[in-house]
Chain A
Amino acid sequence: MARKWGRRSEDQQYFARLSRAEVWQHNIVWISFVLLVATGMMSLIPTDWVTTMFGSYTTQVYYYRRIAHLVLAVLLIAGSIWHLAYGALTEAGRQMLKDMIPTYTDAIQMKQNIQYMLGMSDFKPKFDRFDYREKMEYIFGLIGTTVIVLTGIVMTFAPYFPKFMVDVCGTFHLCEATLASITIAIWHFYAIHWKPGQFPQDTSWLDGMVTMDHLKHEHPLQWERVMRERETAKKRSDDFSFLDTPSTKRQFNNLPEMEEE
């Protein structure tokens, strides 16, 4: 059954690919990123386009654009700090960062996947929790955010820095933002919006859940691991099924005894 706009169908099995914290970190970053690009690029695109959009309010819009850009930058920095703290201080975050580290296997898989896509090979590599595409995007995002934030701070407090440094930071800020926008539009938007089977969107950004079918197809190694874990858990549950009586349940769960009718 087709699923639409985050509604989950009941005949599908789901897997929590993102935790609630990760979903909200993603939401903060993407909302601030999109609005930062919009408010930032307004000073670069031809004036006529902006005046056509906002008419007689252009000057006011341009004035509030700067304030909005600074407020959104604070939001992006806050989201990024939360993400880093989550990665450093929580077990799930540490595991996520560990899984995100690029390995030699990723390079091999990238080569194998390109060969497969080109039709030069029938072998399709099996990806784990994060494939080379996601790792590339995450690392580019990490570097890009660091560059954007540091240069943005220098530009905001420009009078306290040498002019050449402000000019260099301005150039980096602008170029990095352009590069990031283009890569997000091509790389990320294809993967989560335009790829057949994903349209109109990958709804995991809403609750972090993906279907088991999606996991099996896109991340087969993780799917196999999850299935093994589920089977082991089920088996363990079956082995102790003889304990599954009301009295033992109460005993194990330390629940107060219910009055029998």
Chain B
Amino acid sequence: MPDKRLPQFVFLFTIFCSMLLVNFAWDPVLVRAADQENCMLCHRYSGLGCFDKDTGAKKIFYVNEALYSNTVHNNVLCTHCHLNLKEVPHKPAKKVDCGTKCHVKDPSTNKDFSHKIVVDEFRKSVHGESALFTYKDKQPRCKYCHTNPLYSPLRGIMAEKPGCESEALARCLACHEKSPWTKRFLKHFVSRTSSRWNNKQMVDLCNNCHADEEFMHSFGLETTANFKSTFHYRNVKYESENAANCLSCHGPSQPIEIEEGKPVQFSAHSIKSADNPKSSLFKEHRALTCGQLGCHEGANRFFASGAVHGTGTKPTLLRKRLVAEAEELTQEEKEEIKADIKKAKMDKLQLTIIWGIKAFYKLMIILVGGFMFVHQMLDLRITLKERREGRH
């Protein structure tokens, strides 16, 4: 009887062809162009990960190629950021330093590109090398806000027209070569013409840490949770164009003339403590910050006084600091803290007065509203009775 089974080499050949087909169909061309080091050989598997020996935290090393190809770093080779990876399989990667030169040419200077300028600025800010961060793990790093973001789509009035991005690309291609670079340049340009975060996302991002009472008190700071009850936040909620988010005051994009004739440009990376004379919220600069174009133009120093999102816990926190650091502080610093306590007490009194007004009105609403409701219900009852008896 003849053997009806397929010959073994046919079977193996079919499997090999199928694997090739799957491989070509699954791998996006763009990614393979960027993945010159063939890192995706392992990192394409979604199960790739481990648990940290010390903290037990789950670490995932999977890279979604399709997403990565549409991120702002799609043209950067893995080893340009993960510097200590020399062989395969590699040793545990060190933390990435965003100030590293990544060998992508900066088209404006034709030199190796780096985020060093921003990183240096950030290190000088309150979130960088501040004395507050005794524990470095509590310090926000670049990745806390920047998560290798995707290119933003073309937005605004033009975006209402479908396919406007391909039309814009076609205009670029009229002069430039049809290459991944042209597409990437357009996407980069489009992404940077508007802020990545909208006002609400910005507030939520800051509030992730700043509204956490326990976390903020560990630094001796008040929380900002009640920013959400301010008029500023009401504008944020409805995506009003000139709504004030956290950066509008703490790192305003409009230059502020903090020294005569020397306008200073602030940013999210240069936020400084309000006690720092270089801060946009230093007491001498507050009126200028509040009076920015499109905000409270003409604001005077009286308007720019007092806490915007205070909770009244500052005097206690300052007193605790005075006690805890009594031996380390100089007499001058102690006097400064005492003056701050006095000012914080005034802010607390103001908050108490506002709380009192609200409490008074709540009581009035309950008493007056309650009386009126009962009165009208009694009137309804007696009027119906009168109508039944023909007296109305």
Contact = CB atoms under 8 A, between A and B. Distances in A.
Interface of A: 43-44, 47, 50, 58-59, 62-63, 114, 116-119, 133, 158-164, 166-168, 170-172, 175-176, 178-179, 182-183, 186-187, 190-191, 194-197, 217
Contacts of A58: 238-239
Interface stretch (B39-47, B64-72, B131-139, B301-309): B301-309
Given A159-B300, A171-B354, 14 more contacts: A50-B238, A158-B303, A160-B300, A163-B305, A163-B306, A164-B305, A167-B350, A179-B369, A182-B365, A183-B372, A191-B376, A196-B380, A196-B383, A196-B392
A117 B379 contact: yes
Contacts of A186: 369, 372-373, 376
Interface residues of B, number: 44
A171 B350 CA distance: 12
25 contacts: A43-B237, A62-B235, A63-B241, A114-B375, A117-B378, A119-B382, A160-B298, A162-B302, A162-B303, A164-B306, A166-B303, A167-B306, A168-B354, A171-B354, A171-B358, A179-B364, A182-B369, A183-B369, A186-B372, A190-B379, A190-B380, A191-B376, A197-B387, A197-B392, A217-B392
Nearest to B373: A186
A43 B234 contact: yes
Contacts of B291: 159
A159 B364 contact: no
Contacts of A166: 303
B288 interface: no
B173 interface: no
Contacts, number: 110
Interface centre among B239, B379, B383, B392 (most CB of A within 10 A): B379
Residue of A168, A176, A186, A196 most packed against chain B (CB within 10 A): A186
B357 interface: yes
- 9 cross-chain pairs, A with B, having the tightest CB-CB distances, nearest first: A175-B361, A62-B238, A117-B378, A159-B299, A162-B302, A159-B296, A190-B376, A43-B234, A163-B306
A117 B364 contact: no
A82 to B, nearest CB: 28
Nearest to B349: A164
Contact of B365 (A171, A172, A178, A187): A178
B231 A170 contact: yes
Interface of A is mostly: helix
B365 A179 contact: yes
Interface string B359-381: 01100110011001101101111
Interface string B18-55: 00000000000000000000000000000000000000
A108 to B, nearest CB: 16
Contacts of B387: 196-197
Nearest to B359: A175
B297 interface: yes
Interface in B75-120: none
B238 A47 contact: yes
Given A50-B238, A63-B240, A196 B384 contact: yes
Contact of A62 (B240, B302, B305): B240
B358 A179 contact: no
B353 interface: yes
Interface in B256-302: 290-291, 296-300, 302
A164 B350 contact: yes
Nearest to B350: A164
A197 B237 CA distance: 44
Contacts of A182: 365, 369
Contacts of A59: 238-241
Interface centre among B238, B369, B380 (most CB of A within 10 A): B238
Nearest to B238: A62
B357 A47 contact: no
Contacts of B364: 179
Contacts of A133: 375
Max chain A Cβ within 10 angstroms of own Cβ: one of B303, B354, B378, B387: B303
Contacts of A172: 357
Contacts of B305: 162-164
Contacts of B369: 179, 182-183, 186
A159 B304 CA distance: 8
Contacts of A179: 361, 364-365, 368-369
A63 B240 CA distance: 7
Nearest to A189: B376
Contacts of A119: 382
B236 to A, nearest CB: 10
A52 B234 CA distance: 17
Contacts of B353: 168
A135 to B, nearest CB: 14
B140 to A, nearest CB: 28
A175 B364 CA distance: 10
B290 A159 contact: yes
A201 B303 CA distance: 47
Contacts of A63: 240-241
A186 B369 CA distance: 7
A160 B235 CA distance: 21
Given A167-B354, A217-B392, A176 B361 contact: yes
A63 B234 CA distance: 12
